[in-house]
Structure 1
Amino acid sequence: MSDAATVGEATSPPTPSVWRNADFTRLWTGQTASLFAAQITEFALPLVAVLALAASSAQVGLLTSVVKLPYLLVSLFAGVLVDRVRRKNILVATDLARALVLSVVPVLYWTDQLGISWLYVLGFFAGCGSVLFDVAGQAYLPRLVEREQLTAGNSALGTSQSAATIGGPALGGVLVQWLTAPVAVLAGAVSYLASALTILAIRHKEKREEHTEGASPAGTLREVWSGLRFVFGNEPLRAMTIMASIFNLSFTALEVAFVQFMPRTLGLSAGEIGLVMAALGPGFLVGAAFAGRLPQRFGYGRTMLTTASIANLVMLGISAVHGSGFLAVGTLMLINFLFASFGVANNVTVLSIRQTLTPDSLQGRVAATNRFVAMGIAPVGALLGGFLGGTVGLRGTVLITAIGLSSALLPLALSSLARIRYDLPAPLTADPAPLTPDTKEAPHA
């Protein structure tokens, strides 16, 4: 049953602001520092390869792939670990580990021992830490805040993610310019250390989960399987995962075509392309700022479906743009702004529902399964975008992949998720089942 008020109650007590929760504030501060560290590192590490080691384009591409590889190799097992041990400990440990790993880069550089192979190894371990931190962070939030505060909490963290996405590379660029690329990596390590110390100050006491499977390899694989079975065996979680899979496949393919479409088909200059891409930044911030309010005004299901529809369908307009004048640039900027705004709002709402539906003992594995699917399908999308671009042309590829984005709406529209109204649903059981009627509507007087 939902925790909603029963029929006959005129009003329900207001939910306290999430910012009154000191532990959430510490988590938000720590995660913000960690997000900025990740963005600085993602910007500076390839520049170390280029500026300090004169690496080739292929080597830089391989470095980027190695850093992302843990999402495929580690995600599912990270979920098991997150569900076995205290999540705060994982957040602190991964921050400290990444700070230590990245601090090795400037030390090796200053002692003339840094080589591209070292960057591959260190980048891979830093990527493993990022996977663990991401999964643990998503699983930890429901332990710190009330169910009714999840959307506000995710919205605040989404704002930090947006700010880091915008400001992190810019800050990294300044640090590289002033201090050199290896020292910029060290700045990221310091930011990870600050994150660890802040999260360490959280006072909430977690109970250690008891697992009958044990820590044997066979037990670990059974726990991985139980997480996969829970996600794909429950209709609402399965719909979210399928939607994410279709979206990431199509969006990655669209990205590959779009970066070529602007200069080669439309003839946009580098400055004009920069303006188009810069429009994403304000969109991220606006979407994250309003995401927490939309479900209370329009209902969770309607918010999910509407925000996803606007974000995905607006991308169909890209293929209709012609020329390189002010109108073309302005149209693409508006499309990017709307996509970012409504896309972030949708992500916050979907994440809040997923956390609410998932029992605490499975939060890590469910988050890991979603990360595995979302990141695992992206390389296939990149290959698809390149193949279509060479066969049907860039404009045709942009249109086809935008249609693919639109098709991601179908799993959501056909699922019980679209019928959730104002009250958050109760957690699912381990038995495969769709949402019950009691969790679909808010029984307001």
Structure 2
Amino acid sequence: MRFMVAYDTMEATRNTYAWMGATARTMASYPSLAMAPLPVFKLMAAWGEVTERSFQRMVVKPDWHIRPISGEDGRDHPVTVETVVEKPFGDLIRFAVQGREPMARRILLVAPMSGHYATLLRSTVVSLLPDADVYVTDWHNARDIPVSAGKFDIEDYTLYLVDFMKTLGPDINVIAVCQPAPLTLAATALLAEREPEAQPRTLTLIGGPIDPDAAATDVTDFGRRVTMGQLEQSMLQRVGFQHAGVGRMVYPGLLQLSSFMSMNAETHGKAMWNQVLAVAGGTASDQDKHNTFYDEYLAVMDMTAEFYLSTVERIFKGLEIAQNRFVVDGHQVDIGKITSVAVKTVEGGKDDISAPGQCVAALDLLTGLPEEKKASYLEPDAGHYGIFAGGSWRRNIRPLVLEFIDANTNAGSPRSARPAKLHVVEDDRTDAPGPNVAV
């Protein structure tokens, strides 16, 4: 019960700060105060606006907001989000470009389940849509899933990926971003053993902890320092009564967000104060760089306790993927069984979440895959976020990934063979305030 009290206390604190922000904004905006030539009232209203928005967005799932895609016919084609497979803990969704013929390239983006929503990959989706049909794993907030839905750990996650790949068929090209990279590799190996005809054409692993011991980071050091008992006592809470998942044990998104913020408290504090000054000076806008970044960064979701604990215990501490000892549903997965899926790894030279060496370790595990079907790329100046959504992704990594897909598929369509040219640039977060998002 104390865990439930802790969960509701965090939510009450968030609610209080949102109320304080709204109150300050409202009180400092009374017309009569405009007669007093004191800048403090403008600053108070600006502080209230920034504070209210910051704490309100923490419990709201961001919308995808995908703009129309320009087609070769010279028209703009609206994009709608369609659910292909619906499951309790996550859906497979498709970005349907209205009025456009099916594309030769079909891509499944495996989004991380690490405290942020799949919308973290919005700019990645936007960059790929002009040249491919795009699907995404849309994971659900654990607090909204009834206890009756059962558990969800890394084995269940892997089986979800297997089902999604089987649904999309063997002509799909899979791109896994960070946290799901080792589990996506395991899901592909499981298909190679059980249903080889359902394997994807290509698999691209971006900044994932295949072997966390290959290069130490703060994330891997934390995994070594704490015991599982300490994690259970300090990181887990029970969902409160106001949510559908009442009673479910979770790793709360708000708790993870507080950890993220504390790691770069000075940077975030400066960004928030600069935004207050911008609002007070009338230079801020609803979609400026600050709001674009923090609308996503502050929107967090809860993870099931079993998923969080099994990730730490089996991926980071036990190194089950790194040592090819991963077991799913009682069956030991052999990554060496992958013999026909072309695999590419992508790493960032300045990645402080999954450091260079952790992801490329996957290629050594692919003992049954010919060398010509293996590839790796290191973007020297890219941080963690930049390798899948920033300027480095758009300018350098994305074209290489599409070329890798085309080189290892037999689509034979002029559409798939054309150069990977980005038609639409919607979101540039390369210079956004704040650190790389830990995913």
Q: Which has the higher strand share?
A: 2
Q: Which has the higher helix share?
A: 1
Between 1 and 2, higher relative CO (CA 8 Å, sep ≥ 6) is seen in 1
Q: TM-score range by the shorter chain?
A: under 0.3
